[in-house]
Chain A
Amino acid sequence: MINQSIDGFLHPDVSKSVDQIFVNAKQWLLGLLSWLTGAPGWVIQVASSLINIFALLFVFLTLFALMSVLERKILGRIQNRYGPNRVGPFGLLQPVADGIKMLIKEDIVPARADKLVHFLAPILIAAAAILALGVIPYGRNMTPFTIDGGILFFFAVGSTTELAVFMAGWGSNNKFSMLGAMRAIAQMISYELPLIITVLPVVMVVGWLTPDRIVAAQTGYTLGLVPRWFVFTPWGATAFILFFVSGLVESNRTPFDVPEGESEIVAGHMTEYSGFKYATFFMAEYIGMFAITGLAATLFLGGWHSPLSVLEFIPSYVWFFTKLSALLLVYIWLRGTLPRTRIDQIMNFAWKFILPMSFTCVIAAAVWHYAGRGLRGWLWSFVVIAIVYTALSMLLDTQRKFAPRIYRFAE
């Protein structure tokens, strides 16, 4: 009833034009530019890239501001207290106040620090995080820049973060910074492997490294009801969970936030940063989180596709950002719920469980493909994953009972 009235109200053409409103606006703007100035083609190309860049920065910096206040609010709610509620309505202007505070703080550089490296590290880390956003399709025809190996680009850019973290730790000339950087790099490198291997099944099934193609491969609905997202296949669901956990580690979020810790290592590689440089690190961390969740939504949750065919009149970018927000909400929820893990637990988890499971996902995806991608493939790949999962959990079960802790290194 409601749907019908909305359908009647929103003619397919109208909903299509709403869907493409940003694309059309950009085209119109570029057309205006070339008509007004008569600029040659490459100027228009550069202008087009600039528009994309500014749109990306605007959207994601706004999202960062929103996320920082929402996270504090939700964490407050989980911990049974008010979050920030002084600045503006519901504390919504808190990020503005934070930003002003960070901007006018003194920028302290240690006397013995390597000035140039210390200065370059936050810039590099932020640049890497923002670059990774560029290849994600945010809506129909809304990929900021399309390259053939988009997925590879994402990870190539992401892998430079490690060097930037190292620069921050080494350039600060501080033991805490250095140790924090070491911890961060160790966990980022170990989880980069499962992160990439869990992407492999999707790439194998689709046959392309281009995010747009991966989204296109998830079009349609089985029996007109269940969307053909990869998360609804056994291998896809497993890979999604593994990807999500690895992404959590990559962005140094709470169950895995060992590089930071007030009681042991101060702020890790960010110890010697203050004022706006610290804010840049903070921003890069959040933007990296957006990028990872955005990629998870693209790879497994159907990108900008709507979950039901009746809901297709809602613009594609709305769906994308809904999925993104849902995943981010899970991030916040986990942060409010789980305690920290130790570094050896993180490493054991990576090498003994996550890595074998992600290899299993690759095999299960192959099984799914060769068993005909239908119900039969679903069942067979489920069997493969169930067998490996059971075997792994039996192997890794140490039968250890709860007992007083034995100290090995501290007598």
Chain B
Amino acid sequence: MSSVAFVLIAILTLAAALAAATLQKLMHATLSFAVALVGVAAFFFLLGAEFVGLVLVFVYIGAVAVLIVFTILLTRRDARKDHGANWGGALLAVAVFGGLAWAVFKTPSVAIGAPHIRALTVKRIGEALMTSYVWPLQCVGLLLTAALIGALVLVMEEKR
């Protein structure tokens, strides 16, 4: 059941990612990027990490995708120029793929019984955030507050 779901989601995610990389119109690419992100979120759901999946949807679809879309709208016309094949990118992709494949094949295929992981509940995440990760949390909070105030200052009406 879950392996069927895995294959389906994997196909969807990969197709969307491929579309995001190859589609001519930037807006189409962005929308397929959003679909790919939903696919990744679905993987987290499949793994039982609901919280991470939900946050992924929340942050990436609700905020990052909208941000990208606005950036495209505000910065440029829909460029449709064909730049020719990007050889450097292709080389890098092949290198990364080769490295990963090497690592995968190098790893001895022993079936280690997966340790029983307790379901990652919201409560546990909250406890971890408030105990072991208080400092990063506070720093992120400070950063976000600064960003919020900065955005407000940027859009504030100038006094004449």
Task: Enumerate chain A residues within 8 angstroms of B63, measured Cβ to Cβ.
Answer: 159
Task: Enumerate chain B residues within 8 angstroms of A208, measured Cβ to Cβ.
Answer: 122-123
Task: Enumerate chain A residues within 8 angstroms of B65, measured Cβ to Cβ.
Answer: 163
CA A351 to CA B149, docked complex, whole Å: 11
Q: Does B46 lie at the interface of the complex (its beta carbon under 8 Å from any beta carbon of A)?
A: no
CA A148 to CA B73, docked complex, whole Å: 37
CB < 8 Å neighbour of A156 from B34, B62, B119? B62
Q: Does B27 lie at the interface of the complex (its beta carbon under 8 Å from any beta carbon of A)?
A: yes
Q: Does A88 lie at the interface of the complex (its beta carbon under 8 Å from any beta carbon of B)?
A: no
> Looking at chain B, what size class is its interface with the partner chain?
20 to 34
When A149-B50, A153-B54 are in contact, do A162 and B66 touch as well, CB less than 8 Å?
Answer: yes
Per-residue CB contact flags for chain A residues 206-243 toward chain B (1 = under 8 Å, else 0) read 01110000000000000000000000000000000000
Task: Enumerate chain A residues within 8 angstroms of B123, measured Cβ to Cβ.
Answer: 207-208
Task: Enumerate chain B residues within 8 angstroms of A159, measured Cβ to Cβ.
Answer: 57-58, 61-63
> Looking at chain A, what size class is its interface with the partner chain?
20 to 34
Per-residue CB contact flags for chain B residues 29-72 toward chain A (1 = under 8 Å, else 0) read 00100100000000000000011001101100111011001000
When A117-B31, A166-B69, A167-B31 are in contact, do A160 and B50 touch as well, CB less than 8 Å?
Answer: no
Q: Which B76-129 residues have C-beta < 8 A from chain A?
A: 119, 121-123
B56: nearest residue on chain A (CB-CB)? A156
Most buried by B among A149, A155, A192: A149
A148 and B61 contact, CB distance less than 8 A: no
Nearest chain A CB to B138 CB, angstrom units: 16
Residues on B lying within 8 angstroms of A by beta carbon are 1, 27-28, 31, 34, 50-51, 54-55, 57-58, 61-63, 65-66, 69, 73, 119, 121-123, 152
- List, sorted by A's number, 16 A–B pairs whose CB atoms are closer than 8 Å: A42-B1, A148-B51, A152-B55, A152-B58, A156-B54, A156-B58, A159-B58, A159-B62, A162-B66, A166-B66, A166-B69, A167-B31, A170-B69, A192-B62, A207-B123, A208-B122
